[in-house]
Amino acid sequence: MSFLTGANMTGGYGKGPDILHDCTVAVDKGEIAVIVGPNGAGKSTAMKAVFGMLNIHSGHVTLDGEDITKLSPQQRVVKGMGFVPQTQNIFTSMTVEENLEMGAFIRTDDFSDTMAQVYDLFPILKEKRHQHAGELSGGQRQQVAVGRALMTKPKVLMLDEPTAGVSPIVMDELFDRIIEVSRTGIPILMVEQNARQALEIADKGYVLVQGRNAYSGTGKELLADPEVRKSFLGG
């Protein structure tokens, strides 16, 4: 059993049809796990299912050995899950520093050293900490978003397409930052559109097709798998 596991999840939004079918994703300490797949494969849905944002009627989610299938997303945050949504993931009208403070809202202890760590990870944020987050560039906004999620000192970090809509250069930089975050010991589960780059940094990869696990393995294995290359990585 991995540190965070969404096992055999089947379900969909509200009363709608099932989107996920017996789908399993997991991530262990010190790992980066990446969910890739074609458009509409249910990548983000799988991530949201792990975070409790939709109902799964079979399967279960465990965190650190504890079954958290029935918990609400807010309760999961308290349990130590950090989640960065794909869009609208920052408070645009608040300063960078206030964004981080809000990230630490549930903490009652002193969080100044966590903030210092975040600033170490993302030096640009320290520079712009009194600017409104809405005035930052796309890549910087994503850093604010990740930084906000890190403020709870999460046991696991979940990123929904962190590089959506940023330029290739910024994308590389963001991936570097994500590796750095992972080196601090936080397991990272991430959904990515840019499958090749993501698999290159991934310890574990899941290829989803129509809500089902099609392939899984280490990042390298998947990159080397001719089937995967042919179908998803453009040869």
Partner 1 sequence: MDFLNGFVALSNFVLIPAIAYGSQLALGALGVTLIYGILRFSNFAHGDTMAFGSMIAVLVTWWFQGMGLSLGPLPTALLALPFAILGTIALLLITDRTVYRFYRAQKAKPVILVIVSMGVMFIMNGLVRFIIGPNDQKFLDGERFIISVREFKQMTGLREGLAIKTTQGLTVVVAVICVIALFWFLNRTRTGKSMRAYSDNEDLALLSGINPERVVMYTWMIVGALTAIAGTLYGLDKTFKPFVYFMLLLPIFASAIVGGLGSPLGAIAGGFIVAFSEVTITYAWKKVLTYWMPESLEPDGLVQLLSTDYKFAVSFVILIVVLLFKPTGIFKGKSV
Binding positions for partner 1, rule: CB under 8 A: 73-74, 77-78, 83, 85, 88-94, 98, 101-103, 105-106, 148, 152
CB nearer to partner 1: pick between 72 and 137: 72
How far apart, in whole angstroms, are the C-alpha atoms of residue 174 and residue 198?
A: 11
8 A C-beta contact, residue 137 and residue 92: no
CB of residue 162 to partner 1, shortest distance in Å: 15
CB of residue 235 to partner 1, shortest distance in Å: 39
How far apart, in whole angstroms, are the C-alpha atoms of residue 52 and residue 74?
A: 9
Which tokens sit at 154?
């999460």
CB of residue 149 to partner 1, shortest distance in Å: 8
The helix/strand count (H/E) of the chain reads as: 10, 10
- Counting other chains too, the contacts that 132-138 makes at CB distance below 8 Å and 24 or more residues apart are 132/92, 132/93, 132/94, 132/95, 133/90, 133/91, 133/92, 133/94, 133/95, 133/96, 133/99, 134/90, 134/92, 134/93, 136/96, 137/170, 138/165, 138/166, 138/167, 138/170
CB nearer to partner 1: pick between 154 and 219: 154
22 pairs with which residues across the strands? none
CB nearer to partner 1: pick between 111 and 232: 111
CB of residue 83 to partner 1, shortest distance in Å: 6
How far apart, in whole angstroms, are the C-alpha atoms of residue 94 and residue 102?
A: 10
CB of residue 157 to partner 1, shortest distance in Å: 13
How far apart, in whole angstroms, are the C-alpha atoms of residue 194 and residue 108?
A: 38
CB nearer to partner 1: pick between 106 and 116: 106
CB of residue 25 to partner 1, shortest distance in Å: 20
CB nearer to partner 1: pick between 103 and 162: 103
8 A C-beta contact, residue 63 and residue 4: yes
CB nearer to partner 1: pick between 106 and 179: 106
CB nearer to partner 1: pick between 148 and 177: 148
CB of residue 77 to partner 1, shortest distance in Å: 5
